[in-house]
Structure 1
Amino acid sequence: MSDKPVPCDLMRPSDSPPVDTAIKASDQPIFSVLSSGGVKMKEARVLAGLDCTGGDGGSALTTDSESGIFSGECELCEDHEAELDWFCDTEQKLVCSHCATVGPCRAHALIPLSARVSSLRNHLVDVCEKIQLQALRVERFIQHTLTDKEQKLQAAASRAREQVLSRVSAAREALEEEEQRLLEAVQREEERVEQCLLTQQVHWKQALTSLNQTRAGLVHTLTHTPDTQLAISAQDISERVEGAEGVGEPCDTEQLEMKSSCSDSAMLTALWATAVLLGPNADRTSSFQFDARTVSPLLSLSEDLFTLTFTNRKSREPCPYDPARFDSWPNALGSRPLSSGTHRWVLDVGQSAAFKVGVCHATLERKGSGDEARLGHNLRSWVLSNYDGEYSFWHGGRKVPLHVVRRPRRVGVLLDWPTQTLLFYEPESNVVLYSLTDSFSAPLLPACAVTDRSITIVH
Structure 2
Amino acid sequence: KRLRLRESDGSHLPSRQLRLFLPPRAPYPPAGRSGWKLRPTEDAEPEGIRSLQGPQPAAPPSLATRRASLGLEFQRKPSGRPRRPPNRRSSRLTSAGVEPRAPRPAFLLQQCVDEVLENRIDVPKTALPENLYNPRKEDITGPGPGPGPGSEPGPLCPEHGQALRWFCCSERRPVCAACAGLGGRCRGHRIRRAEERAEELRNKIVDQCERLQLQSATISKYVADILPGKNQRAVSTASAARELVIQRLGLVRSLCESEEQRLLEQVHGEEERAHQSILTQRVHWAEALQKLDTIRTSLVDMLTHLDDLQLIQKEQEIFERTEEAEGILDPKESEKLNFNEKCTRSPLLTQLWATAVLGSLSGTEDVRINERTVSPFLQLSDDQRTLTFNAKKSKTCADGPERFDHWPNALATTSFQAGLHAWTVNVENSCAYKVGVALGQLPRKGSGSDSRLGYNAFSWVFSRYDQEFRFSHDGQHEPLALLRCPAQLGVLLDLQAQELLFYEAGSGTVLHTHHASFPGPLFPVFAVADQTISIVR
1:186 partnered with 2:264? no
1:400 partnered with 2:479? yes
For residues 458 and 425 of structure 2, the distance between their equivalents in structure 1, rounded to whole angstroms, comes to: 21
For residues 234 and 323 of structure 1, the distance between their equivalents in structure 2, rounded to whole angstroms, comes to: 70
Q: Shift of residue 418 of structure 1? A: 0.6
Count of residues paired in the alignment: 284
Any idea what the Cα deviations from partners look like across 1:127-172, whole Å, max 9, x if unmatched?
xxxxxxxxxxxxxxxxxxxxxxxxxxxxxxxxxxxxxxxxxxxx75
1:309 partnered with 2:388? yes
Contact (CA 8 Å) 1:309, 1:453: kept in 2 or not?
yes
For residues 455 and 428 of structure 2, the distance between their equivalents in structure 1, rounded to whole angstroms, comes to: 25
For residues 387 and 226 of structure 1, the distance between their equivalents in structure 2, rounded to whole angstroms, comes to: 77
Matches within 5 A, 1:272-311: 272-279=353-360, 281-283=361-363, 285-311=364-390
Secondary structure of residue in 2 paired with 1:258: coil
For residues 309 and 370 of structure 2, the distance between their equivalents in structure 1, rounded to whole angstroms, comes to: 79
Matches within 5 A, 1:328-407: 328-349=406-427, 351-388=429-466, 390-395=468-473, 396-405=475-484, 407=486
Q: Shift of residue 229 of structure 1? A: 7.1
What's the counterpart of residue 330 of structure 2?
249
Contact (CA 8 Å) 1:402, 1:434: kept in 2 or not?
no
For residues 262 and 239 of structure 1, the distance between their equivalents in structure 2, rounded to whole angstroms, comes to: 44
For residues 440 and 310 of structure 2, the distance between their equivalents in structure 1, rounded to whole angstroms, comes to: 64
Q: CA 1:176–1:215 in 2, change beyond 3 Å: closer, same or farther?
A: same
Whichever of the two has the greater Rg, that structure is 1
Q: CA 1:418–1:407 in 2, change beyond 3 Å: closer, same or farther?
A: closer
What's the counterpart of residue 529 of structure 2?
451
Matches within 5 A, 1:59-458: 172=253, 174-218=255-299, 224-225=304-305, 228=308, 232=312, 234-279=315-360, 281-283=361-363, 285-313=364-392, 316-317=394-395, 319-349=397-427, 351-388=429-466, 390-395=468-473, 396-405=475-484, 407-408=486-487, 410-458=488-536
Secondary structure of residue in 1 paired with 2:519: coil
Q: Which moved more, 1:342-351 or 1:428-437?
A: 428-437
Q: CA 1:186–1:317 in 2, change beyond 3 Å: closer, same or farther?
A: same
Amino acid at match of 2:480: P
Q: Shift of residue 218 of structure 1? A: 4.3
Q: Shift of residue 221 of structure 1? A: 5.5
Structure 1 gap ranges (5+): 1-170
For residues 396 and 535 of structure 2, the distance between their equivalents in structure 1, rounded to whole angstroms, comes to: 25
What's the counterpart of residue 68 of structure 2?
none
Q: Shift of residue 321 of structure 1? A: 4.8
Q: CA 1:244–1:363 in 2, change beyond 3 Å: closer, same or farther?
A: farther
Q: Shift of residue 180 of structure 1? A: 1.7
Q: Shift of residue 174 of structure 1? A: 4.6
For residues 201 and 441 of structure 1, the distance between their equivalents in structure 2, rounded to whole angstroms, comes to: 33
Q: Shift of residue 331 of structure 1? A: 1.3
Q: CA 1:210–1:365 in 2, change beyond 3 Å: closer, same or farther?
A: farther
Q: TM-score, normalised by structure 2?
A: 0.47
Any idea what the Cα deviations from partners look like across 1:354-413, whole Å, max 9, x if unmatched?
2111112334343443444322234442222233354443334323324254641x3221
Q: Percent of aligned positions with the same letter in both sequences?
A: 46
Amino acid at match of 1:394: S
For residues 406 and 470 of structure 2, the distance between their equivalents in structure 1, rounded to whole angstroms, comes to: 22
Q: Shift of residue 228 of structure 1? A: 4.4
Amino acid at match of 2:371: A
For residues 297 and 198 of structure 1, the distance between their equivalents in structure 2, rounded to whole angstroms, comes to: 59
For residues 326 and 211 of structure 1, the distance between their equivalents in structure 2, rounded to whole angstroms, comes to: 60
Q: TM-score, normalised by structure 1?
A: 0.55
Q: Shift of residue 306 of structure 1? A: 2.9
Secondary structure of residue in 2 paired with 1:403: coil
Contact (CA 8 Å) 1:420, 1:438: kept in 2 or not?
yes
Secondary structure of residue in 2 paired with 1:425: strand
Q: CA 1:429–1:242 in 2, change beyond 3 Å: closer, same or farther?
A: closer
Q: Shift of residue 424 of structure 1? A: 1.8
Contact (CA 8 Å) 1:347, 1:456: kept in 2 or not?
yes
Amino acid at match of 1:258: F
Q: CA 1:205–1:352 in 2, change beyond 3 Å: closer, same or farther?
A: same
RMSD: 2.9
Q: Shift of residue 246 of structure 1? A: 1.4
Q: CA 1:352–1:257 in 2, change beyond 3 Å: closer, same or farther?
A: same
For residues 253 and 302 of structure 2, the distance between their equivalents in structure 1, rounded to whole angstroms, comes to: 72
Amino acid at match of 1:187: H
Contact (CA 8 Å) 1:393, 1:402: kept in 2 or not?
no
For residues 364 and 201 of structure 1, the distance between their equivalents in structure 2, rounded to whole angstroms, comes to: 43
Contact (CA 8 Å) 1:276, 1:282: kept in 2 or not?
no
